[in-house]
Structure 1
Amino acid sequence: MTKPPAKRAWQDLPRTIANLFETRGWNPLSVLNRADRLIAGRGGARQVGRGVRYGPHDRHHLDIWLPPTRIAKPAGGWPVVVFFYGGGWHAGDRGDYGWAAAAFAECGFVAVVPDYRLAPAVRYPGFLWDSALALRWVVKNIDGYDGDPRRIGLSGHSAGAYIAAMLALDQRWLDGVQLPSDTIKGAALISGPYDFHPFREFRGRAAFGHWPDPVETQPITHVRSDAPPILLLHGQSDRLVYAKNSRTLAAKLEAAGAPVVLNIYPQANHVDPLVSLSRVFRSRLPVLEDAVTFLRSATALPTSAS
């Protein structure tokens, strides 16, 4: 009987590290942030805004990163990526995601990472209003940081991908903060939940279980033909947010005639696509390359005057 090929030890490195940190009580994102900062100076990406206030609450702050000085600023400013982190709508801090912001910045984007209020302090739709307010601040102020407010894309992981999907698909949130419907030029969404009702998992119940119309909370409900281009990135072996979420959303967008691209990474779990943005684990999966290629195309200005 032929033995299956031995699995290389490094292939399980992110999972092994996560388990070690959990038993030791360490914050793996904070450690990854430090490690990423030490590797080649984060590619020259520059943090130019720290804790910039975008609204009235204590969690209404954001960080801003610029591309390296070696990248020439295009006419009108650099394109912008607003990145929403995950954490099940009940955890997360923008300061732990400098490595994700720096990844997009070193590829020629102004990267913005906002905090938003978390459960149980707020539940749906509180964190969506916060995120829409952060986006409004970006539109009104990012030109002061050499970003182009006409070229804004979104990204996010897990619960953050949910937030970005809702901003892109459900026009109530942009309408509610007086932003034009075409503000978002594209969204690169990583390992997100888009069709997860009924709420069987405690995070979903805590954030959404109170809402009288659960279907209304689902991104899949708000698919429309004029949605901005969406890239869905998901690990085939994700057992926290199953890849079915991305497959179902992609199929519904395609059926509606909306522009969508679906990338499923074999053998990747829930965190693999996220940590692959970092310089530490970037060689594992082409997530950054895929997201950047997509967002460059989506945020490109028209070449004609019409």
Structure 2
Amino acid sequence: MRSYFAVFFLGLLALEACSFRSIVIHPDIPYMEEGFLDELPEKQLTVYAPKKVKSEPYPVLLFIHGGSWRSGNKEKYIPLGRRFARKGYVTVIIDYPLSPTYKVHSMGKASAKAVDWTHRHIGDFGGDPNNLFVSGHSAGGHLAALISVRDEYFDSIGVASNPIRGAVLIDPAGLDMFTYLVEANNAPGTSHNRTFTDSPEVWRDASPMYHLHDAMPPMMIMVGGRTEPSILHGADRFMEAHAPYTPQPGFYLQKRKKHIPMIVQFLYTPSKTYRRVREFVETNRSHEL
């Protein structure tokens, strides 16, 4: 698994050497101070913005990295931020607290805090706060879905209204973590229980599938046909639960893709996945200034 990521990131860095001219990068901006909510650490984000100034602000894409909720960082996704910025998005890539020191609800609160910071400040970077979309791969896809459907995370940080306009989920893990952990029957304190605790109540509470509602933002979901079985099964259950709310959601099964190639495909700039993201954003964005 690590070798796949190493090849991916080295390849992206090599191909991105010429991308600085058309974008502006604002690195390591603190969005959450040490001791926030008496429990969370300081965390930072990086903003990637198109250099060209337009009369109409750019849509915003906030990306949450994967890593099984226990690893990863925003620096590994520098090429992704550059590429989306070159495609016409003000792109925000965040760090968030990781397991085992922090549990899933702390990660949700931090992700919501990053969205709130972005909503309040992204206009300074040419982005449109009224068109803020969240995205994530793997565990990051889970957190993006979770804060999209559960306004409680915004309530917990004192934000009255969820500003998320839509969610782009890339091979998301944990959409139904409750069923996965029940079937896994892990020994207490092992595996994903370090993130989701040993409590079935928390497993269900942190599973986006059980919090769908009429007012939730629209979602675009991309899943690899050869990805991890738990992701495939969770996506199937999620889509079945989602159907009463959106009979024809933006769901794309990429039959030949495994889990890591689902994010590696963004290495290829002409990839049709960029077109799908653009179509999703254009369909769901607000044109009010």
1:117-136 residue CA offsets vs partner (Å, 9 max, x unmatched): 10011012111111111111
**Pairwise mapping of residues 193-232 of structure 1 onto structure 2 (< 5 A)?**
193=173, 194-197=175-178, 198-199=180-181, 200=184, 203-211=191-199, 213=201, 214-232=203-221
Write the distance in 1 (CA, Å) between the matches of 2:199 and 2:15. Answer: 39
Give yes or no for contact 2:24–2:49 (8 Å, CA) kept in 1.
yes
Instruction: Describe the shift of the 1:297–1:43 C-alpha distance in structure 2 as closer, same or farther (beyond 3 A).
Output: farther
The 3-state SS of whatever aligns with 2:110 is helix
Deviates more, 1:238-247 or 1:216-225: 238-247
Deviation, 1:245, is 2.2
Amino acid at match of 2:231: Y
Shift of 1:267: 1.2
Name the CA shift for 1:203/1:132 in 2 (closer, same or farther; >3 Å): farther
The residue type paired with residue 13 of structure 2 is: R
Q: Which amino acid aligns with 1:161?
A: G
Structure 2: distance between partners of 1:171 and 1:80: 20
Structure 1 residue 245 corresponds to structure 2 residue 234: yes
- Give the whole-Å Cα distance in 1 for the aligned partners of 2:247 and 2:22: 33
1:105 Cα deviation from its structure 2 partner: 1.2
Q: Which letter maps to 1:245?
A: G
C-alpha distance in 2 between matches for 1:188 and 1:176: 24
| Matched-pair contact (CA < 8 Å) for 1:253–1:259 | no
Contact 1:234–1:265, Cα closer than 8 Å, also in 2: yes
Question: Could you state the TM-score of these two structures normalised by the residue count of structure 1?
Answer: 0.81
1:83 alignment partner AA: F
Aligned partner of residue 168 in structure 2, secondary structure: strand
Distance 1:290 1:209, change over 3 A: same
Structure 2, unmatched stretches of 5+, are 35-40
Residue by residue, what CA displacement relative to the aligned partner does 1:187-229 show, whole Å, maximum 9, x if unpaired?
1101112013242376422210334512111110101121111
Percent of paired sites with the same residue: 20
Q: 1:74 to 1:33 in 2, by over 3 A?
A: same
**1:273 deviation in Å?**
1.6
Q: Is the 8 A contact 1:225 1:253 kept in 2?
A: no
For residue 38 of structure 2, what is the aligned residue in structure 1? Answer: none
User: May I ask how many residue pairs the two structures share in their alignment?
Assistant: 274
Matched, 1:31 2:16: no
1:203/1:151 Cα in 2 relative to 1: closer, same or farther (>3 Å)?
Answer: farther
Structure 2 CA distance, aligned partners of 1:81 and 1:268? Answer: 23
- TM-aligned CA distance change 1:43 to 1:73, over 3 Å: same
Task: Provide closer, same or farther for how the CA distance between residues 62 and 291 of structure 1 changes in structure 2, counting only shifts above 3 A.
Answer: same
Structure 1 unmatched ranges of 5 or more: 1-17
Alpha carbons of structure 1 residues 123 and 32: separation in structure 2 relative to 1, 3 Å = farther
**Greater C-alpha Rg:** 1
Mapped to 2, the partners of 1:297 and 1:233 lie a distance apart of 17
Equivalence for 2:26: 49
Counterpart in the other structure of 2:82: 102
Letter in 1 for 2:275: E
CA shift in 2, pair 1:108/1:52, >3 Å? same
Taking the aligned partners of 1:47 and 1:207, their CA distance within structure 2 comes to 35
Alignment match, 1:278: 267
1:114 partnered with 2:94: yes
Farther off after superposition, 174-183 or 80-89: 174-183
Amino acid at match of 2:223: H
What is the CA–CA distance in structure 2 between the aligned matches of 1:274 and 1:117, rounded to whole Å? 22
Question: How far apart in 2 are the matches of 1:206 and 1:61?
Answer: 24
- Cα deviation code 1:137-171 (max 9, x no counterpart): 10111111111111100111000000000111011
Q: How far 1:262 sits from its partner (Å)?
A: 0.7
Q: State the AA in 2 paired with 1:228.
A: P
**Change over 3 Å in CA distance of 1:117–1:182 after alignment to 2:** closer
Contact 1:191 1:241 (8 Å CA) reproduced:
no
When the two chains are superposed, the root-mean-square deviation of aligned CA atoms in Å is 2.4
Aligned partners of 2:24 and 2:51 also within 8 Å:
no
Contact 2:222-2:251 within 8 A present in 1 as well = yes
Moved more, 119-128 or 257-266: 257-266
Return 45-54 or 78-87, whichever deviates more: 45-54
3-state SS, counterpart of residue 142 of structure 1: helix
> How far apart are 1:64 and its partner, in Å?
0.4
- SS for the counterpart of 1:83 is strand
Residues 259 and 302 (structure 1), Cα distance of their counterparts in 2 relative to 1, 3 Å cut: farther
Q: Distance in 2 between matches of 1:180 and 1:78?
A: 24
Question: TM-score if structure 2 supplies the norm length?
Answer: 0.86
* Native 8 Å contact 1:45 1:102 kept in 2: no
